[in-house]
Amino acid sequence: MTHRTAFMIRALLAATSALAALPAAALEPAEVFAKVAPSIWEVRVSNAEGQPLALGSAVVIGDGLAVTNCHVLRGGKQVTLKRGNASFGARLLYPDVQRDLCQLRIADFHYPAVSIVPSSMLVTGQKVYAIGNPLGFDLTISEGLISSLRHDDNGALTAIQTSAAISHGSSGGGLFDSNARLVGITSRMVSAVYGQNLNFAAPAEWINDVPARAQKALAERAAAASAVSVNTPSATAAAAATPQPRKRGELGPKSQAGFAEYLQKPWPKVFVAADGDVFRYAWGQNAEFRAMSWCQEQYRNCSVYARDDTIVEAK
């Protein structure tokens, strides 16, 4: 082989590698929708009597598997995935309540799984599409940008902020990039009363962690329950497992202590109370939204007890 031939071969290989490294050409919105629509389903949640409780969305992540937000399933006994005339019963397989992602198992459910984008590939300003079932309007697509990538104090990504419109019923739906890959699971929005185009999604790569995190949480709860059963009567353990309903306008001892701390915080601020003598408070920008979101992710029957230094919840 001559030096010239070898040089040409190396140049050709380098050019081929460079082309392979280039991102795929962006799809048109209609193409994104057509590609991922078979993987987006409506979630209907009912009580034991079949009465409807909640409506949301779900994304197919594997054969017989889908993911949605845990808050969509809260309090439900029956879960159904529906689209058009097709309907499938589902059961909860793995709950990751802390991150608000729940994996569902669906029998005889064979639909294409989405492709997941690592969070390291996301950038603020890139175009994204939210696809779900807002207010029950099935398979609705909205266009927007990644407005921001929200991180905690340790630099870990905690939420994807987007201007793509979502509404009640969008929870558990998909946020996709321009190559029809899953970026996040749409989970919450800021009401128009407090802001506009402020919507949030859980990073899609969290889906991979759901089984392990759910099993770890289950083991921790089992260990805690075992310790309670050894040290207290069974009736006390049962009472501890079920938060006592809070009377409107009243706070338990722990919440009262928390409220005393809250009163020392600057305005604007809000104090949110829930069943079981638990609470959340926040101050600063979007205080009410943040406090309610945090509360609803963990507790039941969250409501605003006070705004600034004024109690607004009457007995």
Cis peptide before 23 (omega within 30 of 0): no
Could you confirm whether 100 is annotated as catalytic?
yes
Of 71, 167, 177, 293, the catalytic one is 71
Q: Tell me how far apart the alpha carbons of residues 52 and 1 are, in angstroms, rounded to a whole number.
A: 75
Could you confirm whether 46 is annotated as catalytic?
no
| CB contact set of 169 (below 8 Å; sequence gap of 6+) | 55, 56, 57, 132, 133, 134, 135, 136, 137
Of 171, 178, 187, 293, the catalytic one is 171
Q: Tell me how far apart the alpha carbons of residues 30 and 223 are, in angstroms, rounded to a whole number.
A: 50
CB 60 within 8 A of CB 131: no
Q: Tell me how far apart the alpha carbons of residues 209 and 214 are, in angstroms, rounded to a whole number.
A: 8
Phi, psi dihedral angles at 59 (to 5 degrees): -120, 135
Q: Tell me how far apart the alpha carbons of residues 191 and 199 are, in angstroms, rounded to a whole number.
A: 9
| CB contact set of 34 (below 8 Å; sequence gap of 6+) | none
Of 39, 57, 96, 100, the catalytic one is 100
Q: Per residue in 167-184, is it b (16+ CB within 10 Å) or e — as a string?
A: bebbbbbbbbbbebbbbb
Could you confirm whether 120 is annotated as catalytic?
no
Token digits of residue 69: 């937000």
List residues with catalytic annotation: 71, 100, 171
